[in-house]
Amino acid sequence: MCATTSTNFAANIQQFFELCEDTATFLHEKQKKMRFYFVIREIMVIFALEIERQLIIELHFSTGKWNLICYS
């Protein structure tokens, strides 16, 4: 009975470590994906701000107003 119990225990420990490795790999891949999405989001924000800036400039040129608008 002791040999069977220790074999089961060793098998359970092995499964536990395999599960930990799988979880660590999954979390690492998820972290890489989240970093990628964060970079893409930042690029989109930069483009949106640039488009907004261009629209404000176009609006001022078309209306003839030269007021400086500052957003903080």
**Tens digits of residue pLDDT in 61-70:** 666 555 555 5
CA quadruple 57, 63, 66, 70: dihedral sign? negative
| Tokens read off for 50 | 């640039």
Kindly indicate the confidence band of residue 21, based on its pLDDT and cuts at 50, 70 and 90: confident
pLDDT of residue 41: 92
Kindly indicate the confidence band of residue 11, based on its pLDDT and cuts at 50, 70 and 90: confident
Segments making up each domain of the chain, as ranges: 2-71
- CA 34: distance to chain centroid? 2
The pTM is what?
0.50
Kindly indicate the confidence band of residue 7, based on its pLDDT and cuts at 50, 70 and 90: low
